[in-house]
Every structure is written in structure tokens, then in C-alpha cells.
Amino acid sequence: MGALQKDRRLLALWFPRLPTDRLKRHRTKTLNAPPLVVAEKVKGALRLCAVDEAASQLRLHVGQPLANARAMVPALEVVPASPHADAVLLSQMAEWCDRFTPVVALDAPDGLILDIAGAAHLFGDERALLDKIRKALKARGLNVQAAIAGSALAAHALARYRDGMIVAERAERDAVSPLPIEALQLDPVTTHAFRRAGLKTIGQVASRKRSEIVSRFGAATHARIDEALGQREMPISPRLPEPDYWTAKSFAEPVATQEVIQNALREIGAELCALMVQEGSGARRLEASFFRADGALRRIVVEAGAPVRDAAMIERLFRERLASLADPLDPGFGFDLIRLAALRVERMQVEAVPLDQAVRAAAEIDFLTDRLAARFGRERVLRIYPHETHVPEEAWVLLPAQQVYETKTQWRNIRAKVEAPRRPLRLLARPESVAIEHEPLRLQWRKAWRGLTLWEGPERIAMEWWRLEGSKIPRDYYRAEDEAGHRYWLYCELAQPAQWFMHGVFA
């Protein structure tokens, strides 16, 4: 349920009065309010770019000079255009529409395109989905028109000229042929040329030979006609990356209890895993989206170190993530839809059930790593990798444990089995200055003197002057043990005068 389909079904939304609706949404409705229009400067003259319903009933229209509009309706409220504010509202509506499908594209300046393939059945059918969206948007104070077709341009055109129309699959030609040529939204010069030639509808233009259209208006114009007729597919540009797989669960009544939310995640997680099993894939990055009844949206993301398609494991990762949120998941008046999407997937090889205890232990460690990363964050769970250098403090790097890195250098043993360690278990974050006295042999570190009983060295290490930015002075390293049995790793910088530092402590 909810997997992305190849057959496209696109729902176009058009907000014909977006600027005036934006202004009126937060106003208190009053009787005898003056008609509202929005004006912008076009070629040095102020013209109407949006009119509300009251102004439209008084025969005011978009493109009309403001002076003429004032002459017709003296009591007129005029507000300057704000394209930025309109774009912000359109983006907010796009995010709100994300509850119906994860593939939502802006159709600027006043429309949206939703790819509803595989999503309509979650709300009944395409008609139920279209009516639900229009009703909800109108309740939010927005005038909206909508249509569904198999191509973006066909849906775009029908939303503006055939509000509420749903085109059957591969029936776009019959649906758009009666529409005026303006529905193609070609440049004004091309539209005027078609009308002068007597071609006033899309069907009349489509009846002409391809060679005539291409030679006179170019291949791009003919391609646009083909797209409107459903004979050519043009991609849309979603606001967010399309998930590879997704599933969702809607609720007749909003839910708010933790138990119901966890059960829903487990249920849609099983459906998502079934989809990935069919394709031989596993998820590396998953996103759960929680849609509140009041329109608020919360997204929670978890990652896995290896491809995963076990529903119980996925539910456990999200449980860890939800438990660690600094800003807890607030259900408010309840969630009416929860969606789970696989944002990044990888192919999974078919593997036999591991019987080797070491293999099973490695898998458990990987799962533990994923749980810790979900709780504390990916950048806080690190793994040590070797680094190709002989400088002690540069011989290893810390990288996120969930990501597997291929390194040319491998860990190697530098001592025999019966030999004492040559490197300390713990290196200090920064070498600390110490003092050495030879008669008697003793060490001053952190304001305390320690008598030394064993002393071994030197081991000379030259600094990599061509790479390091810090000190490039060669070092002589020594291993020492004090009277209490504590063992230290010291070095002397071969400079004038010589300086001694504590670099590490043996276990």
C-alpha cells in the first residue's frame, strides 16, 4: 500500500484569488466591507493583479487599470501586491498537502501539482480525495479549483477551465480538446498567432500536422501540445525528494495515545517491509510523518548502518528516537494520518540464517549502534578507524559508526604475545608538560613527584612536516614505571632546550 507507481495520476490545485484570500484569512468578517483588490505596477501603470469575489461581481477583473476600477467602484480597498507573501502562503499550502501524498510540486505563482498515484485509495478514491482537499482548503479561507488527469499540463488546464473534472486514464485528448488555446499558457505572441489563424481551441491546434506546428512555432510548442493531450510525459519538480517506498495509515477519528501511535507504526512498517522485500531492497534512511488534525506536521528521521526491512527493528528505532526528543511529539487534538517513507534504500543480498555466533553478535552490535544513534544522534556514536601515519595522535580518526568506511590502512599488532604493550591504552587529549630528574630518577606530573623504577627507550618519531600544521620537532618516546606500578608514555622534544611531555598512560 502506498508504493510509488509508474502510472501517473496528477491532481492540480489552482488558487484563483490567492493574494486577496491571504489578506482576508486573518481578518474579522464585517458587513458592508468594501471590495478588496490587489494592485501592482505594470509598465509604469497600476493594474489589478487580484480581485476578491465582491469586486469580481462588480465587473472588476485582473489586468484592469486601477484608475478605471476606482471610477467604477469609488469605495474600493486597494492593497499593494506582495509576491513574496503569496509565495510563502503557497509553500505553506504545499506542506499541508503533503498529508495526501509525499510528491507535491509548486505550480507558481498560484497553483500546486500533487502526484496521487498509489495514494487515492487511502482516502476512498480519486473523487473522495479531490472533494476532501477542496473542502479542507475552502475551510481555511481559500478559493480553490481542482482537477485530476494523467499529465501535469492537462490537470493544470482543467483545474482552470473545468473545475472538479477527473479524466479517465489515457482520455486526456477528449478532455482538453474543447479548452481554449490560452489553457496551454504559451507566450502571448504564439497564442495571438494561433487565434489569428482561426485556431481557438487545443483540439483545433492538435488537428494540424506536426510539421506545420514545428516549422512555424518550434518543437517546444508541439511538445507542450502533446503533454496536454497526454501523449508526452514531462517530469514535475517536487519540493522534497521523492521517497523510494512509502505507506500511510489514516484514521477516521484523530488518535493521540502512545499505544495507538506505536501500533500504527508497527502496522505500516510491516507494509513497507513487504514492499521492499518484493524489490529485494532495504532501507538505510526512514522518515515518519505525523499529521495533526489542526494541520501541524512533525517529521522524525532515523538511519540504519545497514539496509533493514524488519518491521520490529524499524518500530524499535522509532521508539528510541521518539523517547529521546528534546521537543516531545505533541499530538494536540490528535493525528489523523501517519506516514512512513523509505528515503534511501539499497539492494539487499539474500542471506542464509546465520548460525555462527560471531556473525549474530556482529548483527546485534550493528542494531545496538542504530538504536544509540537514534537516541543520541548519528554524530555522537562514533567508531575508530586507522589512519595512515606514524604520528601517535594522528594514527586514528573518529567517524559515525553507522557508516562503513573503506580504509587502505588496517589495524596491525606491533608487539609479540608475551611482550608488554608498546602503546598506552589511553592518550591524553593534549600532551601535558612534565619535569624529569635523573639523580635520583623521578617524574613531576600534575604537581606531584613520582619515583621511577623502570625506564625504556628511546623510540624516535619524526613529525610529518609536509602535512602537520603544529610542532614539527622530532620526539624521543620512553616507557616508564613508577614505584606504585603505574606506567607512563613520555616523550622529549629534541629542541634546545629539551622539553618533556606526558602523552599517555598504560592500563
Q: What percent of the chain has pLDDT over 90?
A: 54
Report how far residue 402's alpha carbon sits from residue 441's, in angstroms, rounded to the nearest whole number. 48
27 and 117 share one domain = yes
Q: Where is pLDDT greater, at 458 or 405? A: 458
Note whether residue 18 is domain-resident.
yes
* Dihedral sign computed on CA atoms, order 13, 17, 23, 27: negative
Q: Tell me: pLDDT of 4 over 70.
A: no
Report how far residue 174's alpha carbon sits from residue 182's, in angstroms, rounded to the nearest whole number. 17
Note whether residue 399 is domain-resident.
no
- In this structure, of 123-137, 311-325, 439-453, the range with the lowest mean pLDDT score is 311-325
| Contact between residue 71 and residue 59 where contact means Cβ atoms under 8 Å apart | no
Taking the CB of residue 377, how many other CB atoms lie within 10 A of it?
Answer: 12
Report how far residue 359's alpha carbon sits from residue 318's, in angstroms, rounded to the nearest whole number. 25
363 and 469 share one domain = no
Pairing of strands 36-42, 77-80: parallel
430 and 368 share one domain = no
Give the pLDDT band of residue 269 (cuts 50, 70, 90).
Answer: very high
Q: Which of 109, 136, 152 is the last residue of a domain?
A: 152
What CATH number does residue 295 fall under?
A: 3.30.1490.100
Q: Which of 106, 127, 152 is the last residue of a domain?
A: 152
Q: Tell me: pLDDT of 353 over 60.
A: no
| pLDDT 10s digits, 282-309 | 999 999 999 998 888 899 999 888 888 8
Range 345-350 average pLDDT: 80
Give the pLDDT band of residue 5 (cuts 50, 70, 90).
Answer: very low
Q: Tell me: pLDDT of 87 over 80.
A: yes
Q: Tell me: pLDDT of 202 over 80.
A: yes
Report how far residue 54's alpha carbon sits from residue 72's, in angstroms, rounded to the nearest whole number. 13
pLDDT, position 2: 45
Note whether residue 2 is domain-resident.
no
284 and 359 share one domain = yes
Total domain count, the chain: 3
Q: What angle, rounded to 10 degrees, do the helices at 311-323 and 357-376 form?
A: 40
Q: Tell me: pLDDT of 420 over 80.
A: no
| Contact between residue 26 and residue 141 where contact means Cβ atoms under 8 Å apart | no
365 and 466 share one domain = no
Note whether residue 212 is domain-resident.
no
Taking the CB of residue 502, how many other CB atoms lie within 10 A of it?
Answer: 18
Give the pLDDT band of residue 33 (cuts 50, 70, 90).
Answer: confident
State in Å, rounded, how far the first CA of the chain is from the last one.
56
Report how far residue 432's alpha carbon sits from residue 348's, in angstroms, rounded to the nearest whole number. 49
279 and 343 share one domain = yes
Give the pLDDT band of residue 49 (cuts 50, 70, 90).
Answer: very high
pLDDT, position 416: 74
Q: Tell me: pLDDT of 48 over 50.
A: yes
Give the pLDDT band of residue 411 (cuts 50, 70, 90).
Answer: confident
Note whether residue 126 is domain-resident.
yes
Report how far residue 294's alpha carbon sits from residue 216's, in angstroms, rounded to the nearest whole number. 52
Give the domain range for residue 445: 426-505
Q: Where is pLDDT greater, at 383 or 355? A: 383
Identify the CA nearest to 393 among candidates 420, 431, 421, 434: 431
Q: Compute the mean pLDDT over every residue in the chain, rounded to the nearest whole number.
A: 88
pLDDT, position 402: 80
| pLDDT 10s digits, 446-481 | 999 999 999 998 999 988 877 766 667 899 999 999
Beta-bridged to residue 502, according to DSSP, are 432, 490
pLDDT, position 3: 43
Distances (CA, A) of 209 to 145, 212, 215, 222: 33, 5, 10, 10
Question: What are the two backbone dihedrals, phi and then psi, of residue 366, each rounded to the nearest 5 degrees?
Answer: -60, -45
Q: Which of 355, 372, 389 is the last residue of a domain?
A: 372
Q: Tell me: pLDDT of 235 over 50.
A: yes
Question: What are the two backbone dihedrals, phi and then psi, of residue 376, each rounded to the nearest 5 degrees?
Answer: -105, -15
| Contact between residue 21 and residue 142 where contact means Cβ atoms under 8 Å apart | yes
What CATH number does residue 113 fall under?
A: 3.40.1170.60
Note whether residue 296 is domain-resident.
yes
Note whether residue 45 is domain-resident.
yes
Identify the CA nearest to 455 among candidates 442, 472, 466: 442
Report how far residue 167's alpha carbon sits from residue 179's, in angstroms, rounded to the nearest whole number. 14
| Contact between residue 112 and residue 104 where contact means Cβ atoms under 8 Å apart | yes
Range 123-138 average pLDDT: 93
257 and 359 share one domain = yes
Note whether residue 180 is domain-resident.
no
